[in-house]
Structure 1
Amino acid sequence: MAVEAHGLTQAIGARWDTVRRRYKWWQLTLFVIGVIAAVSVVSALFFAVGNKPSRIYTDAPPPPVGSPHFTTAFATIVGAPVERGGTITLLNNGDQFVPSLLDAVNQARRTINFAVYIWSEGEFSDQLIAALAQKQREGVMVRVLLDGLGSLKVPDEDFSALIAAGGKVEKFRTPKFGKLTRFHRRNHRRAIVIDGDVGFTGGMAVSDVWLGDAQDEDHWRDIMFKVTGPLARSLQTAFVDLWVSSSGELLTDPRNYPAQAPAAFEGVERFVHLASSPADDDQSMGYFFLLPILAARQSVYFAAPYYVPDRHLQDALVEKARAGVDVQLLFPGPRTDNWIVRASAQARYQELLEAGVKVHEYQPTFMHAKYGVIDGTWAIVGSPNLNSRSRQLDEENALGIYDPAFGAKLTETFFTDLQRAKPITLEEWRRRNPLLKLFETMSRILDQQS
C-alpha cells in the first residue's frame, strides 16, 4: 500500500512539472481564478443559504378558512394586510380575456400600468401595443414593465410607436456583468392596472398561445381574473416596486391611486394580496399556499401547470387526504412546454395516489391555469406556480380571497376542467414504463430550478 501511494505521489508530481513547463505562471493564476469564479457563480445560483426547518406545523389547529380568525392569522404570517371590497370576474381563455383587456385599455382615462412575464411578438402583441400607443397619444400615461428574459421574443422596435408617443417601457433584470447571479430571478408577476380601479391578474401574458379558446395544441388553456375597486388597487403594489427598481421612477402621481367611494368596499368579503420577492429565509409565498391547506376541512382543489413542491406542501396534501379531505389536483397531460418539470411532478404521483389524492392530467392542450379553492370558499389566484421558483426565486403576486360566491364559481370551473382531463389511477401508475420512472427520478435533480 505504501509503495502504491509513493507511486501515485510521483505520478502527480511529474504531471505538475509538465504543467508548469507548458504554461506561464500568469496563465496558471488566471486558470485558478477562473475556477474559483465559476464555483462561486454556480454556488450563488443553485445552492440556497440559510436555515430551513425540517417541519412546518401550527401551534394549534388552524381556524377554518371561513373564519375571520383564519384571515387575520394568514395575513400576519404572510406579511400582507386584510382588505375588503371590489369585484372579481373569471375570464376563461383568450376569447374572454383579450376582448376584456382591450376594452379596459380603450376606456382608460388616466394611467395604464402593465406588467407580465411573457411578451412575444404576434397578433395579440400587435393589437395590444397599437391600443396602448393610441391611449398614450390621447394623454393617458402608459407604463409597460417587461421581464428581461420573458420578453426576448418581442423586438424592441415593436414598442417604438408607444415610446414615440411618450409611453415608457422598461425591462426588469436584463443581463449585465456583475449581476449574473440575479439574472435567473425573474419578474413572474401579473399586474395590469388601469386608472387604479380596474386590474387583471392570473396565468396569461402576451403571446398568441393565449388567443382562442384552448381549441387545439397551439392555444393554451388558461384563466385571467378581472378585478375592480380595492382588489385592483392592491395590484398596484405588485407593479410600482418593480417599476422603480427597473426605471428609478417613484410613482407618486395621484392618478395612480384614485379615491374610492364607500360603495367600492362592497363586494368581496375579505382578501389578502401578497407581492413576494425572492429571499432564502422568507417563504411567504410558500405559506400562502400551505396555510389554507392545513386549515381545510372538506376539500382542496388546485390546478397548476408546474408542480415541484417542497416537502411541506407535499406532506400537507398527503396528510389531508389521509384525514378524509377531498384532495384533487389538475396538472398538464402530454401537451406541455417543459417535459423535465412534468416528469418531476410525476415523480410525486405515487405518494399522492397512495394517500388518496385524486390526480388528473389535462388532455387537449397545455393547461397553464393557476388557481386553487379550499372548502369551496377560499380562493387562491395570481401568478405563482406550485414550484420552487415561485416560492423562493421569482417575483410573484397572488390573491387569497374569502368569498363563497366566487369560491363556488371557481369550484365549478375546476370540475369543468376535469371533464377534459384523464384521472390517474394508482394501479395504472405502478405499471408505468421503468424508463419513465428513471426519467422522473433524474428530473428531480433540477427540482430547485423548476
Structure 2
Amino acid sequence: MELSWWTLGAGALIALLVVVIWSIRRHRDPKLNIECDAPIDQLTLSLAGLTLGTPVGGNSVQLLQNGRFFDVLIERIGAARKTVHFETFLWKDGELGRRLAAALCERARAGCQVRVMLDATGSRKAGKDVIQQLREAGCQVKFFHKRSLRNLGVINNRDHRKLCVLDGREAFAGGHCIVDDWLGDAEDGRHFADLSVWLHGPCVHTMQSVFSENWAGETGELFVGDDVFPKLHHAGDYTIHAAFAKPENSAPTVKILHHTALCIARKRIWIQNPYFIPEPQAIEAFAAAVRRGVDVRVLMPSTSGSDNPIVQYAGHRNFERLLRAGVKLYEYPHTLLHQKVMTIDGVWSAIGSSNFDDRSFETNDEVTLAICGEPLARELDAVWEKYAARARRMELDRWLRRPWWHKARENVFYLAKTLL
C-alpha cells in the first residue's frame, strides 16, 4: 500500500518537531567548564555574577530541621502585619495544611495582604474546601501552570520552590512541603527529614523578588512599596545570593551554581539530596574533584526510604561510574531524607528547593541560596554526619553483584528521568 501525502506530511511534521525540541534543549544545555585555583569563599562575586545574582552581606541565617520548621513558620505568619507571600510545590490536605490555612486566613481577616502561589500539579490535592476557605477569608490564591489548553506547552514545567516572605522583612526557604509526612522529627518511616532556613537582612529583598517572578507571571500584578520592599538593615554576618533565573538560550542559573561549585571545590563536597540523578557532565566533575584530592560524599535515601523509589532506581544507573571514580555514596533506609543541601570545603553552603537531577536543573522553577560562612556549613555537615551514621555506604564490589533485574529497572527508569 502506497503511503498517502497526508501520512508523509504528518511524519515530516513529527520529525521537524523532534528536531525543534532537541535544538531548544541543546541551546539550554551547554557543556560547562571552568578552571580556577581560588578558594570558593573568595569567589562569591563570581558565583553570583555567573548566576545573574548580586551577593548581599549582613544577613542572619537560622537552620530549622524537620517538623519544628512549621512551628516557627506558622508563629511568624501570625506576627505579620502587612503582607504574607507564600509559595510551594506540594500541598496535600491534612492536619498541617489546615493549620497553615487557618494561619493565613487569620492574617487576611486581620487586614494583611496574603498572596499564595501553588503549583497546579503538586498541589492538586490541597483540597477544594481549603482553597475555598483561603479565598473566602480574603487570600489571593493562584495556581502555577494550571491545566488548560493555554498552558499545554508548559504543563511539564513546575514551580518547585518552597518559600515564604513576611512583611518584606523576614523569609523562609528550603525543602519543606505542606504534607503531614513532614511533621515530627524523622523518627520513623512515616515522618520525613528536611531542612529550611529562616532569613533576616538585605537578602530578604532577593526572596521577595523570587516570589514576585511567578506571581507577576500568573497574575500580572506588580507590588511595590514599604509593605513588600522595606528598608532592611544589617542582621548578621552571612553573605548570600540566590540562583533562580532560567534565561533563554542558556543554562539555568541553579545548574550553573551547582556545577561551578563542584569544579572549584578544593577539600570536600558533601551533598544531601533526596533525588540524586547526576548527568554525565556532573559525573565528570565529581571524578575530577576526586582526582584533585577532594572528599566527595553523597547522602540520599535508599529505595526503601524514598517516597518515589523509581527515582532512586534511575539514580542507580550511574552508581558504578561514581564509585569507580572514588565518590562515596551513602543510602539511608529508615525514612525520606528530603533536604537539598551541598557544602563545599566547610565554608560555603547551597540550600533550597533543587534536587540533583535534570528536572530541577533544566525544567522546574527552583531557588537555591548560596551562603558563605563557616557556622552554617558546620551545622549542615553535622546533619550529614547524624544521618550518615545510620546509613549504608555503597561498596563497588557488592554493587557489581546486584541482580540483573535491578540493572534492568535502572536502565528503564533512567530513560524517564526528566519526567520523574
Q: Verify same fold: TM over 0.5.
A: yes
Give the Cα separation in 2 of the matches to 1:276 and 1:62: 27
SS at match of 2:135: helix
CA distance change for structure 1 residues 278 and 430 in 2, over 3 Å: closer, same or farther?
farther
Is the Cα–Cα contact under 8 Å of residues 111 and 255 in structure 1 kept in the other structure? Answer: yes
1:89 deviates by: 1.1
Give the Cα separation in 1 of the matches to 2:347 and 2:324: 27
SS at match of 2:59: coil
Alignment of 1:301-320 (within 5 A): 301-320=270-289
Q: Hey, what does 1:5 align to over in structure 2?
A: none
1:286 aligns with 2:255: yes
Please say which structure displays the higher CA radius of gyration.
1
1:278 deviates by: 6.8
Q: Hey, what does 2:351 align to over in structure 1?
A: 381
1:32 deviates by: 8.1
1:366 deviates by: 1.4
Alignment of 1:291-302 (within 5 A): 291-302=260-271
2:33 to 49, 53, 57: 57
SS at match of 2:367: strand
1:231 to 181, 186, 203: 203
Identity level (%): 28
Is the Cα–Cα contact under 8 Å of residues 45 and 181 in structure 1 kept in the other structure? Answer: no
Q: Hey, what does 2:385 align to over in structure 1?
A: 415
1:56 deviates by: 2.7
1:275 aligns with 2:244: yes
SS at match of 1:63: coil
Give the Cα separation in 2 of the matches to 1:118 and 1:168: 18
Alignment of 1:46-85 (within 5 A): 48-51=24-27, 55-58=31-34, 60-67=35-42, 70-85=43-58
Give the Cα separation in 2 of the matches to 1:120 and 1:39: 40
CA distance change for structure 1 residues 47 and 439 in 2, over 3 Å: closer, same or farther?
farther
1:307 deviates by: 1.5
Alignment of 1:210-359 (within 5 A): 210-261=182-233, 263-264=234-235, 266-268=236-238, 270-277=239-246, 279=248, 281-333=250-302, 334-359=304-329
Cα deviations by residue, 1:313-339 (Å, 9 ceiling, x for unpaired)? 111111111322110001111222223
| Further displaced range: 277-286 or 292-301 | 277-286
Segments of structure 2 that go 5 or more residues without pairing to the other structure are none
1:216 deviates by: 2.1
1:161 to 106, 129, 133: 133
Give the Cα separation in 2 of the matches to 1:152 and 1:267: 40
Query: Which residue identity lines up with residue 36 of structure 2 in the other structure?
Result: P
Is the Cα–Cα contact under 8 Å of residues 193 and 339 in structure 2 kept in the other structure? Answer: yes
CA distance change for structure 1 residues 43 and 238 in 2, over 3 Å: closer, same or farther?
farther
1:387 deviates by: 0.7
1:54 deviates by: 6.9
Aligned structure 1 segments of 4 or more residues deviating by more than 6 angstroms: 31-47
Give the Cα separation in 2 of the matches to 1:248 and 1:204: 27
TM-score scaled by structure 2? 0.93
Cα deviations by residue, 1:32-61 (Å, 9 ceiling, x for unpaired)? 888778777777778744447774322x42
Query: Which residue identity lines up with residue 415 of structure 1 in the other structure?
Result: E
Query: Which residue identity lines up with residue 82 of structure 1 in the other structure?
Result: P
Q: Hey, what does 1:372 align to over in structure 2?
A: 342
| Further displaced range: 440-449 or 351-360 | 440-449
Is the Cα–Cα contact under 8 Å of residues 185 and 278 in structure 1 kept in the other structure? Answer: no
Q: Hey, what does 2:83 align to over in structure 1?
A: 111
CA distance change for structure 1 residues 199 and 222 in 2, over 3 Å: closer, same or farther?
same
Alignment of 1:117-156 (within 5 A): 117-156=89-128
Query: Which residue identity lines up with residue 196 of structure 1 in the other structure?
Result: G
Structure with greater proportional helix content: 1
1:90 to 58, 63, 68: 63
SS at match of 1:66: helix
